[in-house]
Amino acid sequence: MQSFNIRYDTRDDLSAAAQELAPIRPEQLLIQVFCGVPTEQTVSALIKDITTIFPGTAIIGTTTAGEIMEGEALDQSTVISFTHFNETKVRSALVEQNDDLFLAGLKLANNTRQDKMKAAIVFGCGIKNGGAINGEPLLAGFQKACPDVVLAGAQAGDNGAAQNTFVFTQDGYTDKGAAAVSLSGSDLTVSNRFNLSWVPLGKQMTITEAHGTRIYAIDGRPAKEIYAHYLGDNVADRLPASAAEFPLVVERNGMQLARHANQVLPDGSLEFMAPFHTGETVHFAFCHTGLVVESAHQMFDAFSANPCDAIFIYSCLTRKWVLGNDCKLELAPLASLAPSAGFFSYGEYYSNNGENMFLSQTMTVLALSENRNKPSHKDTSPTSTPEFPDHETKQIQDLQVLHRLVETSAQERETLIEELQAALAEIKTLRGFIPICSHCKSIRDDKGYWNEIAEYIQDHTEAQFSHSICPDCTKVLYPEYGDVHDGEVAPKSA
């Protein structure tokens, strides 16, 4: 298995790649294209150039919100990834509609289905009518037809403009559909991981009204008002742009999902890329750069433990915005393991324990390899040391301190709440109208029996009575005695 990546400028770049791949077996060659110039003219020209040099080869391409190549984050460039397998067969398909995404996913799966199919890469258009597309139905449709396949990929971008995105194969392109390739072979090894690194912040909140991808109320208040209340007017006034910095985190199937609003409605409700459900609990979250480094170590260790010939990275645009140059902290180590390429997207596709999931704010990674006993065109074993930072920057140190402060404060708050709830559970209170005799002051209980007031209160509260006598009663009952002080009766002086 041979994998390498190029930055494409002219057709000569493709000719040089073809020479390196020779002899070419078209049915065993996968070409992924990550195009940072989201125009029909650019995409059409790319398809023409690639199909001319590589006739009969499966191509899957997308416009991007940034490109990834060998540990670097790029802008408005075109990166092409070539993966030439020894035994694995590649098949592609294109669907040109997104009015029924479940049906589109079903059709993609059926059109790419193969025997011994182990993995699929899917690129979907990311924008429709000026808004982000919810990719969940597309993934559900694909899973319906191919339930045991590891799925990876993401939604096309257009450099943050949110106007028009394209996906394509060797057969054409579309701005309203999806493209897919399937990988099939008994020697193929597939593994995947993802990195979130967004830390829940502040109190747990409950979604009190949500319909589909729109949240109307959180904790009984308009969704936008919640942002203003907890994060301040500066954040609320900048919505939806500021929502990328402080997404909502919800846990599903043991996995934390981060989602940010992409539209503010006049009634104060917020539109999200993917659905929430009434009754779900959520937190605000912030990106913890220190956890990015920690997760990068864990991801490197996981992938380096097994053979790895090619790595494909599909990461959210918001990570690029929020992390800035710190993107390299999680990209560079992977490049030391194997040739790596990918793009920044408008939502990521990921297989988690057999379930296809639509993610946001994450970096997802797909690693491929073939049986190392098979001959390879060139050695793709790791040859460099992972580029982890020698020391943590002040920003990372400050974020780690902030994280500790927030986490410790939250734990102490939860402990206090639990203690208060336990104390309240022990308290018995009397409420409502209590029938009491106007003469003897006995109280009638729920069963109709009359009880002495002391007995009734002791039975219905935690109070206990001790007996004494008041000054007025002393004068009536014991006139021979004098004053009463603190319940003690003193005899009269002679």
Distances (CA, A) of 36 to 39, 42, 82, 94, 287: 9, 9, 18, 20, 25
482 is a domain residue: yes
Q: Is residue 432 part of a domain?
A: no
Pair 454, 345 in one domain:
no
Task: Using alpha carbons, select from 154, 162, 143 the residue that is nearest to residue 104.
Answer: 143
Domain count of the fold of the chain: 4
Tokens 């296809």, residue?
A: 356
Distances (CA, A) of 399 to 316, 394, 396, 444: 21, 8, 5, 62
Amino acid 379: pLDDT: 46
Per-residue three-class SS string for 148-196 = CCEEEEEECCCCCCCCCCCEEECCEEECCCEEEEEEECCCEEEEEEEEC
Of the residues 285, 301, 330, the one at which a domain ends = 285
Question: CA dist 113 to 93, 147, 180, 256, Å?
Answer: 10, 11, 10, 31
* Residue numbers of the domain that contains 129: 2-196+289-390
Are 197 and 102 a contacting pair, CB within 8 Å?
no
DSSP per-residue codes, 75-114: SS-EEEEEEE-SS-EEEEEEE---SSHHHHHHHHHHHH--
Same structural domain, 40 and 184: yes
Token reading at 148: 């045991």
Q: Are residues 167 and 217 in the same domain?
A: no
For CA atoms 157, 242, 314, 258, give the dihedral sign. Answer: negative
CA-to-CA separations, 356 to 154, 291, 347, 359, in angstroms, rounded: 12, 25, 13, 10
Tell me the residue type at 175: D
Residue 312 lies in a domain: yes
Question: Tokens 């203003």 appear where?
Answer: 228
Q: DSSP assignment of 258-318, as one string?
A: EE-EEEE-TTS-EEESS---TT-EEEEEEE-HHHHHHHHHHHHHHHHTS--SEEEEEEEHH
Q: Please state, in angstroms and rounded to a whole number, the distance separating the CA atoms of residues 161 and 394.
A: 33
The answer to the question of residue 88 being in a domain is: yes
Q: How many CB atoms lie within 10 A of CB 265?
A: 15
Report the DSSP beta bridge partners of residue 22.
none
CATH of residue 259's domain is: 2.40.10
Q: How far is CA 469 from the centre of its chain?
A: 69
Is residue 433 situated within a structural domain? no
Same domain? For 62 and 144 the reply is yes
In a domain, 438, yes or no: no
- Beta-sheet strand order (sheet of 167-169): 2-7, 78-84, 29-35, 58-63, 167-169, 172-174
Both 406 and 482 in one domain: the answer is no
| 3-class secondary-structure state, position 47 | helix
Claim to verify: residue 243 and residue 297 sit in the same structural domain = no
Residue 437 forms part of a structural domain:
no
Q: Which long-range contacts (CB under 8 A, 24 or more apart) does 16-25 make?
A: 17/53, 17/80, 17/82, 18/53, 18/54, 21/82, 21/84, 21/377, 24/54, 24/57, 24/84, 25/84
Task: Output phi, psi for 461, to 5 deg.
Answer: -140, 180
Q: How many angstroms separate the CA atoms of 382 and 307, rounded?
A: 10
What tokens does 152 get?
Answer: 């990876």
Across-strand partners of 250?
257
From first to last of its 494 residues, the chain has per-residue pLDDT tens of 999 999 999 999 999 999 999 899 999 999 999 999 999 999 999 999 999 999 999 999 999 999 999 999 999 999 999 999 999 999 999 999 999 999 999 999 999 999 999 999 999 999 998 888 999 999 999 999 999 999 999 999 999 999 999 999 999 999 999 999 999 999 999 999 999 988 887 788 999 999 999 999 999 999 999 999 998 998 899 998 888 888 999 988 888 899 999 899 999 999 998 999 999 999 998 887 777 888 888 899 999 988 899 999 999 999 998 888 888 889 999 999 999 999 999 999 999 988 999 999 999 999 999 975 544 444 444 545 565 555 455 555 555 566 666 667 667 777 887 888 777 766 666 666 778 887 887 888 877 888 888 787 777 777 777 777 888 887 787 777 656 555 555 566 55
pLDDT at position 377 is 40
Please calculate the CA angle 457-458-461 and round it to the nearest 5 degrees.
75
Tell me which amino acid residue 370 is.
E
Kindly state whether residues 18 and 71 are assigned to the same domain. yes
| Side-chain-facing half-sphere of 228: CA atoms under 13 Å | 10
Asked whether residue 253 falls in the same domain as residue 358, the answer is no
Q: Which long-range contacts (CB under 8 A, 24 or more apart) does 217-226 make?
A: 217/269, 218/282, 222/267, 222/268, 222/269, 223/261, 223/268, 223/269, 223/270, 224/264, 224/268, 224/269, 224/270, 225/268
DSSP SS3 for 43 = helix
Q: Are residues 179 and 234 in the same domain?
A: no
Cα–Cα distance between 81 and 70 in angstroms, integer? 11
Are 368 and 481 in the same domain?
Answer: no
Same domain, 243 and 386: no
Judge if the upstream peptide bond of residue 339 is cis by omega within 30 degrees of 0.
no
Of 252, 267, 285, which closes a domain?
285
Contact 329, 296 (CB under 8 A): yes
Q: Global pTM?
A: 0.80
In a domain, residue 20? The reply is yes
* Same domain membership, residue 51 and residue 159: yes
pLDDT at residue 172, as a whole number? 97
